[in-house]
């Protein structure tokens, strides 16, 4: 058996993109060359690795067993190339694709990433911001190297590392009727017009858990800044991370409602795929994340 790196590369690209044409384009290969590489790999391994549904290729059980190993081969080869680029030095080199849910990605990681790449000038970090559910899915597909989430993760494939504590608060326009009340009841909150993140958001999941029920929002927005603006304009109230609204509270653009009956403390987590090869640059990035004191 003589499996080539090209065959592994084609297999991983098709798995991630789900389509032969897109994989060929990403690898700068013709579609026929891509198809031949996959066909040869499947022949050598004694069977199909994908189920075919028209032009869409979906991993079968054999393919799912192979994929983590194949993805790690590519990661390790890239790490080897980086290692040889800086001979006989202790310089940390390499690339990382970091996925983070909205609050972490927009308000915490920019400072961490800036510190990291300033210290380790031979590294490159790409940050992808999405909701918690999508970050987990991207990790499962090996499309990102590490994830930071503000919700729960129950995937057996993941190593879940507690990272930081966060506090959610209920906010309103300073002119909102509830902002002027000293004693707010849970019934008044249930009856309020809520502006919330989309389903799959860690912030929304924690808020609804604290409220003891799912809330039917008056308005549903996918970005924290859009929610802050809508609340400021008086369209409704919301629940967001205190980290995300600190400046708006200080400037008097938003007001924090007093809700001591709600348990709105939560954890931020670091996620790693258990089967992913841990590179030197990833280890160093995690170390910085655990030790760096934020300025927010």
User: pLDDT tens across 88-122, in order?
Assistant: 456 788 889 999 998 999 999 999 999 999 999 98
147 — pLDDT class (breaks 50, 70, 90):
very high
To 10 degrees, the CA torsion angle through 157, 159, 160, 162? 180
Query: Tens digits of per-residue pLDDT, 247-263?
Result: 999 999 999 999 999 99
Architecture of the domain made up of 89-163+268-291: 3-Layer(aba) Sandwich (3.40)
Encoded tokens for 295: 């300025």
Helix (H, G, I), strand (E, B) or coil at 109: helix
140, 155 contact by CB (below 8 A)? yes
Report the mean per-residue pLDDT for the chain.
Answer: 89
Residues 144 and 138: beta-carbon distance below 8 Å: yes
> Is 0.75 surpassed by the pTM of this model?
no
What the block records as the tokens of 97 is: 């694709």
Fold (CATH) for 165-266: D-Maltodextrin-Binding Protein; domain 2 (3.40.190)
Neighbouring CB atoms inside 10 A of 185's CB total 11
> What is the band of 58 on the pLDDT scale with cuts at 50, 70, 90?
confident
Residue-level pLDDT at 151: 80
Pick the CATH number of 5-81 from 3.30.1050.10, 3.40.47.10, 1.10.10.10, 3.40.50.300: 1.10.10.10
3-state secondary structure of 149: strand
Quote the pLDDT of residue 85: 57
Buried b (16+ CB within 10 A) or exposed e, 41-65: bbeebeeebbeeeeeebebeeebee
CB of 105 within 8 A of CB of 243?
Answer: no
Q: Where are the domains of the chain?
A: 5-81, 89-163+268-291, 165-266
Q: What is the pLDDT of residues 166-184, one digit of tens each?
A: 999 999 999 999 998 988 9
pLDDT value of position 93:
84
Per-residue pLDDT band at 74 (split at 50, 70, 90): confident
Q: Is 152 helix (H, G, I), strand (E, B) or coil?
A: coil
Instruction: Check for a shared fold between 89-163+268-291 and 165-266.
Output: yes
């Amino acid at each position: 058996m003589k499996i080539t790196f090209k065959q592994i590369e084609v297999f991983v690209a098709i798995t991630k993109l789900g389509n032969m044409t897109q994989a060929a384009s990403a690898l700068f290969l013709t579609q026929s060359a891509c198809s031949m590489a996959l066909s040869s790999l499947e022949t050598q391994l004694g069977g199909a690795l994908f189920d075919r549904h028209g032009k869409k290729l979906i991993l079968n059980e054999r393919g799912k067993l192979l994929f983590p190993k194949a993805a790690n081969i590519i990661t390790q080869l890239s790490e080897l190339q980086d290692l040889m680029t800086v001979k006989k030095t202790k310089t940390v080199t390499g690339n990382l694709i970091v996925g983070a849910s909205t609050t972490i990605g927009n308000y915490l990681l920019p400072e961490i990433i800036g510190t990291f790449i300033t210290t380790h000038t031979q590294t490159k970090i790409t940050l992808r911001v999405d909701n918690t559910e999508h970050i987990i899915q991207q990790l499962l597909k090996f499309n990102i190297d590490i994830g930071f989430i503000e919700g729960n993760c129950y995937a057996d494939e993941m190593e879940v590392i507690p990272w930081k504590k966060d506090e959610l608060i209920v906010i309103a326009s300073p002119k909102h009727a509830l902002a002027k009340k000293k004693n707010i009841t849970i019934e008044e909150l249930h009856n309020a017009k809520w502006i919330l993140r989309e389903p799959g958001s860690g912030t929304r999941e924690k808020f609804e858990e604290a409220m003891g029920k799912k809330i039917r929002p008056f308005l549903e927005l996918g970005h924290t800044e859009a929610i802050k603006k809508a609340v400021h304009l008086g369209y409704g109230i919301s629940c967001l991370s205190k980290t995300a609204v600190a400046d708006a509270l200080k400037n008097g653009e938003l007001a924090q409602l007093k809700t001591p009956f709600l348990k709105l403390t939560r954890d931020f987590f670091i996620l790693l795929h258990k089967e992913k090869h841990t590179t030197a640059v990833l280890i160093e990035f995690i170390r910085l994340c655990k030790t760096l004191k934020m300025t927010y």
